[in-house]
Amino acid sequence: MKKPWLAIICLTLLFSLVLVACSNNKNNDTAETEDSVVTQTDDTGGAPPEGGAPDGAPGGGPSSGDIPESVTDVAAVIEAVETPDMSACSADGSSVQVACLAKAFKDTLTEEQAEEIQYNLNEENAQIWSNLPISAAERNGVMLGSLSEESLQAFFALARAALGETGYETFKEVVLADDHLNSMNSGMWSSNYYFTAFLGEPSEASAWILQIGGHHYASNLAYNTQMASATPTFTGTEPLAYTTEGGVNYAPLQGRRDAMYNMLSSLTDSQLQQAQLSKSFDDVLVGPGEDGAFPASEGIAVSELTDEQQKLVKEAIIAWVEDTNEEVSAELTSAYLSDEALSQTKISWSGSTSLDEHASYVRIDGPRVWIEFICQTGVAYRDQIHYHTIWRDKEADYGGSFSSR
C-alpha cells in the first residue's frame, strides 16, 4: 500500500517542478518582450508624447480599431481644389468670415455629423488633440474622409479662411504626405484620417475654437476669446519631400527647417556654446498633453545678437506665425517681435546644429512665443529622419481661455 502513495507523492513533486519551470519561462518571455520595447523605443527616438483625452474627459474621434468609413477621397479633392471657394461669405479674411464659413460648412452636414462636430468650449475638450496616427489617439469631431464631397469643399473653404494662404498650404502638404504613406500602412496613415471640430458654436461674437487635426498636424484656432490665438499648433512631416500621383513635388516643412538652420548657422562658436542646452531631446517637449509645461528659460538672449542675427530670429518666428490668417498673424507678429518681447527671448539648441540627424533640436523661447523643431528617426522610412514642430503661446494658447503656464 505504501508504493502507490509514494508514486503519487513523486508525481505531485514532479508536477510542481513543471509549473515552476513554466512560470520562469513566462517571466523570461515577458522580460525579453519588455527589452524589445525599450530597444524599439530607443531606435525610434523615444516614446511619442501622449495625446488624446485626459482621464475622465469625453472621448473624441475613433478609438483603435474603430475608424469611420471613408466615402470621399480627401487627397483627390484637396489636390483638385487649387483655391477653395470662399465666396459664400465676405472675403475680408476676418473672424466674421470664418464664423460664416463654419456655419455654411455645418449646413452641409448630415444631422448626425452636425452633432458629432459640436462640443462645449471647455478645457477638457480643448486638450483633446494629438500628432499621433489615428489608431493611437482620440480626436474631437468628424473625420474628413467620412464627409461628402460637398461638405469637404465647404470645409476646405473654412480651413483656407482660418489658416490663411500659407497655413492652408502647410495643412494641405502635411495631409498629402500621409496619403503618400498610405500605401505602406493604410490602417495607420491616410489623408482621410483628419478631423475637425467646433468647441462652442461658431459665432461673430461669442468665444469658440476651430480644431483641425490628424497625424503630424493639429491647430486650435480661437475666435472672440480673451486673446488672438492659433495655438497650440503642431506640424510634422514624413517623408520630408515627396511627389504626388499628379506629379507635384512637395517638401512641407522645408521653409521652417531652413529658417532654423540659417538662424543657428549665423552664430559664432562662442554664441553656439552659450546657446547649447544642458539636455538632449527625442521629441518636442511641450507637445500634446503638456499644456503649460514650459521649462526654465535657457540659451542665448536675442538681445546679445547682431542686427543681422536678430533678423534671422525674426524670420524663424514668422515661419510659424504666418500659418494663420492675416488678421491673427499680424497681431501675433507684433506681439512676438516687439523690442520688449525680443529683449526677453532666447534661442537654444541641442544634439546637432546640422538639422539633418536624429535629436537635432532647436528652440525659440520668448515671454509669449514658444517654438520647438526636432529631427527624429523615421517611422515609415527608417533610414531617414522626419520633422516634428510645436508652436505655443504661453499666454494665449486656446485664446487665453484656460491657464497655459
- Determine the pLDDT at residue 1: 41
- Determine the pLDDT at residue 266: 98
Q: Is the peptide bond before 48 cis (omega within 30 degrees of 0)?
A: no
- Determine the pLDDT at residue 185: 83
Cell of 313: 530670429
Cell of 225: 476669446
Residue 108: name the closest of 157, 169, 59 by CA: 157
- Determine the pLDDT at residue 184: 84
Domain map (residue ranges) of the chain: 52-225, 253-400
Question: Which residues of the chain register pLDDT less than 70?
Answer: 1-65, 92-93, 403-405
- Determine the pLDDT at residue 62: 56
- Determine the pLDDT at residue 94: 86
pTM: 0.84
Q: Which residue has the cell 523570461?
A: 28
User: From CA 264, how far away is CA 341, in angstroms rounded?
Assistant: 20
- Determine the pLDDT at residue 402: 86
- Determine the pLDDT at residue 391: 98
Q: Which secondary-structure segment (H or E) carries 236?
A: strand 233-237
DSSP letters for 74-113 = HHHHHHH-SS---TTS-SS-SHHHHHHHHHHHHHTS-HHH
CB atoms < 10 A from the CB of 87, how many? Answer: 8
- Determine the pLDDT at residue 385: 96
Q: What percent of the chain has pLDDT over 90?
A: 77
- Determine the pLDDT at residue 192: 96
**Under 8 Å CB-to-CB from 135, ≥6 apart: which residues?**
64, 65, 67, 187, 188
- Determine the pLDDT at residue 233: 98
- Determine the pLDDT at residue 90: 83
- Determine the pLDDT at residue 267: 98
User: From CA 20, how far away is CA 389, in angstroms rounded?
Assistant: 50
